[in-house]
Structure 1
């Protein structure tokens, strides 16, 4: 059971601020009490990053300095996409940069179904994933697999099957409550996942209406809700998930799209704290 939702124990995902400046994100995270933050090193979409880090030593130095000054550690770096034409060795530079920044985890995802007509075979995906895990292990990094209905690792069963087939000790599941909800996952299914197989947990909430497949990426990248403001059975899910894995706040909210980076981080912190207080009260009432 997860009971500790203190902001100092939480990480804030880069997606919450829509890919903003990494130094500014770390500084804002520190100002608002977050203990960690996630950074984007590789794009998962068909457009370049707005803030490049790899190959820019001055940016790496600035991120490390901000982390040291604020006490906000870099928790995870993303995104490592399993797609055709990619060799595991091509991930090495990003992995090295992530390790230099102090990250302990990386995010691995499948190929997006929308707009693509070329996909890896099951064996090719397994081989590439195993190679990524081996490359990551050389840098002391843990690989989290995030399932999404609109990618070719579409659900929790597929992600766990990939992890089990690879047999790498440094691989686990990214449990994003939005994607779990949109694949109609139940608390009983969440409870059945071995704690050792959960890399980390991403928290948000979602509206009642379920988007069509082509609308799911839009929701995931900019249409989430703050915890406690939607219909996801967060209390029931948190009751059965293990307390050990890192909790990450990932809340790109459509109504906040025009806010500044600092304002988005402050809102995420405020709403996370509000949800934590409400959950604590509910747990006390149940005791």
Structure 2
């Protein structure tokens, strides 16, 4: 069971701010009390990153300096997409950069269904994921795989099957409560996930209206809610998840789209602390 946690226990996911300046994210995370942050090193979209890090030693130095000044560590780096034509060796520069920044985990995902007509076979996906895990292991990195209903590994069962088929010790599932909820996951199903196969846990909340398949990416990238402000059974899920994996806050909120990066991080911190305090009170009331 996940009981008490405070901001120093939490990582702030890059998606919360929509891919802003990594140095500014680390600085804002420190100012708001987060203990860690996630950074984007590879694009998962059909467009380049707005802030490139890989191959830019001056940016790497600036991020490391910000981490040293704030006490914020880089927890994870993303996104390593399993797509047709990808070669495990092509992931190496970003993996090396992630390790240099002090990351312990990376995020991998499948190919988006919308707008694509070419997909890996099951065996190709297993082989590519296994190769990614091997490349990551060379840098001491743990590979988290995140399922999404709008990608070709759509749910928890498919993600766990991929991880087991690859058979690498440094692999686990990213338990994003939004994607779990949108695949009709239940607390009982959450309880059945082997603790050793949970890479980390991403917290947010969601509205009652279920978007159509083509609307799910928009919700995930910009339409989430802060924990405790929606319909996800967060308490019931946290009651059955193990306390060991890293918790990350991933809350790109539509109503906050016009806020600055620093304001978004501060809002995420305020709402996360409020949710943590409310959960602590609810647990105490249970006795």
TM-score (norm 2): 1.00
What residue is the counterpart of 1:230 in the other structure?
230
Secondary structure of residue in 2 paired with 1:99: helix
Cα distance in 1, alignment partners of residues 48 and 138 from structure 2: 27
Q: What are structure 1's unaligned runs of at least 5 residues?
A: none
Cα distance in 2, alignment partners of residues 141 and 281 from structure 1: 36
Cα distance in 1, alignment partners of residues 15 and 227 from structure 2: 15
1:5, distance to aligned residue in structure 2 (A): 2.3
Cα distance in 2, alignment partners of residues 54 and 259 from structure 1: 27
What residue is the counterpart of 1:110 in the other structure?
110
Cα distance in 2, alignment partners of residues 123 and 234 from structure 1: 35
What residue is the counterpart of 1:267 in the other structure?
267
Cα distance in 2, alignment partners of residues 70 and 151 from structure 1: 36
Query: Residues 29-178 of structure 1 correspond to what in structure 2 (within 5 A)?
Result: 29-178=29-178
Secondary structure of residue in 2 paired with 1:39: strand
1:269, distance to aligned residue in structure 2 (A): 0.2
1:177, distance to aligned residue in structure 2 (A): 0.1
What residue is the counterpart of 1:201 in the other structure?
201
Cα distance in 2, alignment partners of residues 207 and 47 from structure 1: 28
Cα distance in 2, alignment partners of residues 36 and 182 from structure 1: 27
Secondary structure of residue in 2 paired with 1:77: strand
Cα distance in 1, alignment partners of residues 18 and 37 from structure 2: 13
Residues 139-176 of structure 1: CA distance to partner in whole angstroms, max 9, x if unpaired? 00000000000000100000000000111000001000
Cα distance in 1, alignment partners of residues 123 and 255 from structure 2: 42
TM-score (norm 1): 1.00
Cα distance in 2, alignment partners of residues 5 and 269 from structure 1: 12
Q: What are structure 2's unaligned runs of at least 5 residues?
A: none
Aligned CA-pair RMSD? 0.4
What residue is the counterpart of 1:185 in the other structure?
185
Show structure 1 runs of 4+ deviating over 4 A: none
1:4, distance to aligned residue in structure 2 (A): 2.5
Query: How many residue pairs align between the two structures?
Result: 287
Query: Residues 245-260 of structure 1 correspond to what in structure 2 (within 5 A)?
Result: 245-260=245-260
Secondary structure of residue in 2 paired with 1:207: coil
1:264, distance to aligned residue in structure 2 (A): 0.1
What residue is the counterpart of 1:278 in the other structure?
278
Cα distance in 1, alignment partners of residues 226 and 128 from structure 2: 35
Cα distance in 2, alignment partners of residues 2 and 222 from structure 1: 26
What residue is the counterpart of 2:16 in the other structure?
16
Cα distance in 1, alignment partners of residues 11 and 4 from structure 2: 13
Cα distance in 2, alignment partners of residues 232 and 193 from structure 1: 18
Cα distance in 2, alignment partners of residues 63 and 4 from structure 1: 30
Cα distance in 2, alignment partners of residues 58 and 214 from structure 1: 39
